[in-house]
A and B are shown apart, each in its own frame.
Chain A
Amino acid sequence: MRLLPAVFAAAAIAASCERCAAPPGAAGGTMVIAATGDADVLLPPVTSLTTGINVSDLLFCRLAELKLGLNTIDDSGFRPVLARSWEHPDSLTIVFRLDPRARWQDGAPVTAADVAYTFRVYRDPAVNAPLAPFLAAIDTVTAADSLTAVFRFRRWYPEQLYDATYHMRILPRHLLDTIPAARLATAPFARAPVGDGPYRFVSWRTGAEITLAGDTAFFLGRPGLDRLIWRIVPELPSAVSQLLAGEADAMEVIPARGQLERVQQARNVRLVPYASPFYGAIVFNLRRPPFADREVRRAVAMAVDRQTVVRSVFGPFADVAAGAVSPMQWIWSDSIRQLPFDTAAAARMLDQRGWRRTAGGARGRAGTPLRFTLLVPTSSQWRQQAAVIVQDEMRRLGVELHIEPVEFTVMERRTTSGDFDAALVSRTTDPSPASVLQWWSPGAGANIGGFADSAFQALTATALRARTRAEAAPRWRRVLERLNDEAPAVFLVSPRNEAAIGTRFADVTIRPDSWLATVTEWRVAGDRGAAGR
């Protein structure tokens, strides 16, 4: 027992050494990022887990990057990265001129042949890249010379530059083209990649840590932080404890209200809000009763007090959703027309459809009670809490709502096979307004409710042809308002993303679609040395 204090004292000294490993004001410095999941692979075409995407984004560059405004239509919304410039010689072609300074981390130059190879990899069915469908409008990518890549499109549309640059991170052909496409994901390269980005791969201890080092030779300038380390801790409370104990410096998002309040009280960490790419919604299955009936859907939507749901579950950390749009998207607006919260009108609508209250207060029609089952994933605390509030609101409307908590994979299986009445889902958007189509266009695999509306399709087609952001914005608004009117879902909530960042870091800005996109500009407070690099 006498040994115990000595052991604890030694431990405390060691712990304090860790915390002072990168003191404020020192050049460079290390940022430890708490992550709740490990990476899968570090090869952009096949990486699908959040940490894998975050890490590989810093290892591999795009031809051009979106600026903070996330304007996906105009060329002015992009800044050059691997491509020094680009031009549109005709409506179906974009020609990219590569920056001759760009190098792979083994010293080889980045060439147009790499760009053409990358396109082939992403489109190869053997690779099975999740983002391949987004490249369907690109017909060919060829290398006109070593520094000129030519993209040919099948048709004209305003987001050609976005599709050409956003979905692909350029790969080193000279290191990969001897590997069969089907084996790329399992190749050693996918776990220890050689990139062309601002950070170099250092190590990956599975389930524990991934370490990157700033590339001092990066052609666009050395990043402000010398090392980035992802520390994997699956449990959210433990990950937050790491932040509060000073063992980690940053976390992409604190998704639970209770944990946010813990971080708010900390002195060594601050919350940095940024627009969320998510919205939460109760999606109806339109292929079966009762939600095949538009008026029933609208009545149910109008009986949900979304403001109460959001305040009760999220407190100040979320907003009522404006529709099938996330706050990150440039088409988002809080003035998009929505169905009102009006329980009296909702009751009248159900009465008119023959769903009348019975003696017990529940609604029914021809002996059939008006009831539905709501699938909720057990992994999501907020969705389970919201479901209970909605259940109470439905009870007051005379609608019987049965909550069925299921595992995430079970929920996905059931919703994609159409085996559900309603499901409380979280939807991720990308910066393009066209991502509305991923979830709501007829034939889209993720359109789980089977929504199909000719007016919606016509409005979408019009919006997709708009040449400028000013022209497109009102058209997309009409698309979203049509969706709200048709009520294929109750668009409930847009959570506000809150990153946790150590107070010792300065110049922190966050691009909402990719929280570390600007990390090259972050630095330890007091270190201005990297500013001029």
Chain B
Amino acid sequence: MLRFVARRLAFAVVSVAAVVLVTFLLVHAAPGAPMLGTPETIASPEVVARQRALFGLDRPLPEQLLRYAVNLARGRLGESFVLHRPVADVLAEAVPNTLLLGGTALLASLLLGLAAAAAQAARHHTRTDTVLGVVTLVFYSVPVFWLGLVLLLVFGEHLHWLPVAGMTSAAIHDRLPPLGRALDVARHLVLPAASLALVQAAAFARFQRAALLETLAAAHIRSARARGLPERAILLRHALRGALAPTITLAGLSVPYFLAGSVLIESIFGWPGLGRVTYDAIFARDYNVITAAALVAGVLVALGNLAADVAVAVADPRIRVDR
């Protein structure tokens, strides 16, 4: 297992380096330029020229790339052109928020997806199966930003059940006790996490249902039934564990979905995470932030895949990983 993990980590390092290189080249090749001001306040050409010189953007591209690579090797991600802060500081504030949102959404989508799949498999070809199949198909087809807006309008603006936006209640958060603050964040987490989770839960449910039905037809399940084990125990103890592998793999592969979805969902719900930072940086052509965000996203995707591989091996002893 250790050799397997080490090999995958080495592969991940190469992949992430490639992601950084491609991102660096793409953002510099993209039309537009940084430091041109905002739609309301256009910076004067003299100010722009001085800023570009300050950040070395007036140097040839290979020289800029070399400098970036050297700085990266020393653990320096550079400075944001717009925020005048070290990029590492910007990401250090944003990434935990995205992990909280994405992690919650992933967990919720797994639980919902597995529950729906188990219910469908247990009642195969019944009305429950049909209804849940339609529901999961609908959520699977819905664009995540549209679902986010609908949830915001219904549960936030009209029913006032949940906050519309932000990560905390601006007026009262700092006056709350620690538990109150945690609950406050949790309350703000519901809508953005649900927006991400419902779509992915539908995907998990559809995959898991198919895998469960296949497993339920296997010989060892028939033997279990023949031994008189209760149907509930067969489903949850034997069939579900054996059928988990595709869903765990899918969960690992869904990290890019959560990262991409967070760009939209964090903007809609004002969630101060990596997606928002990336979104703003792209439109401002804040090269250092964009490249560093790609680096972090690459690392998260690689770790997600690695975690999925390890989890599959743990969940299904038939899979050998040390070859």
Which residues of A are at the interface with B, using a C-beta cutoff of 8 A?
8, 10-12, 14-18, 21-22, 30, 32, 37-38, 40-41, 46, 48-50, 125, 128, 130, 132-133, 182, 185-186, 190-191, 203, 205-209, 211, 227, 229, 231-235, 237-239, 241-242, 244-248, 278, 377, 379-380, 406-410, 412-413, 416, 426, 428, 445-446
CA distance A234 to B281 in the complex (A): 13
Give 27 pairs: A residue, B residue, CB < 8 Å, sorted on A.
A11-B187, A11-B190, A15-B160, A16-B160, A18-B169, A132-B47, A185-B84, A205-B168, A206-B90, A207-B276, A209-B166, A232-B270, A233-B166, A234-B279, A238-B268, A238-B270, A241-B152, A241-B164, A242-B166, A246-B160, A247-B163, A247-B169, A407-B32, A408-B283, A409-B284, A409-B285, A416-B45
A237, A380, A413: the one contacting B31 at CB < 8 Å is A413
Instruction: Give the interface SS of chain A, mostly helix, strand, loop or mixed.
Output: mixed
Complex: chain A residue closest to B40, CB-CB:
A428
Known A233-B166, A241-B157, A446-B44: A41·B39 in contact at CB below 8 Å: no
CA distance A125 to B85 in the complex (A): 20
**B29 interfacial contact with A, CB 8 Å:** no
Contact status B36-A412, CB under 8 Å: yes
Complex: chain B residue closest to A186, CB-CB:
B84
Complex: chain B residue closest to A182, CB-CB:
B54
* Residues in chain A near residue B31, CB distance under 8 A: 406-407, 409-410, 413
* Residues in chain A near residue B166, CB distance under 8 A: 208-209, 231, 233, 242, 247
Contact status A14-B38, CB under 8 Å: no
Contact status B270-A208, CB under 8 Å: yes
CA distance A32 to B172 in the complex (A): 11
* Residues in chain B near residue A237, CB distance under 8 A: 149
CA distance A46 to B51 in the complex (A): 11
* Residues in chain B near residue A10, CB distance under 8 A: 183
A130, A209, A428: the one contacting B170 at CB < 8 Å is A209
Interface centre among A16, A248, A412, A445, by most chain B C-beta atoms within 10 angstroms, is: A412
CA distance A379 to B40 in the complex (A): 12
Closest 9 A/B residue pairs (Cβ): A409-B32, A207-B272, A233-B270, A445-B45, A412-B36, A185-B84, A21-B171, A410-B32, A208-B272
Contact status B47-A128, CB under 8 Å: yes
* Residues in chain B near residue A409, CB distance under 8 A: 31-34, 36, 283-285
In the assembled complex, the CB of A489 is this many whole angstroms from the nearest CB of chain B, namely 15
In the assembled complex, the CB of A114 is this many whole angstroms from the nearest CB of chain B, namely 22
Contact status B84-A48, CB under 8 Å: no
CA distance A227 to B172 in the complex (A): 11
CA distance A191 to B269 in the complex (A): 24
* Residues in chain A near residue B163, CB distance under 8 A: 15, 18, 245, 247
Known A48-B37, A186-B79, A206-B93: A247·B164 in contact at CB below 8 Å: yes
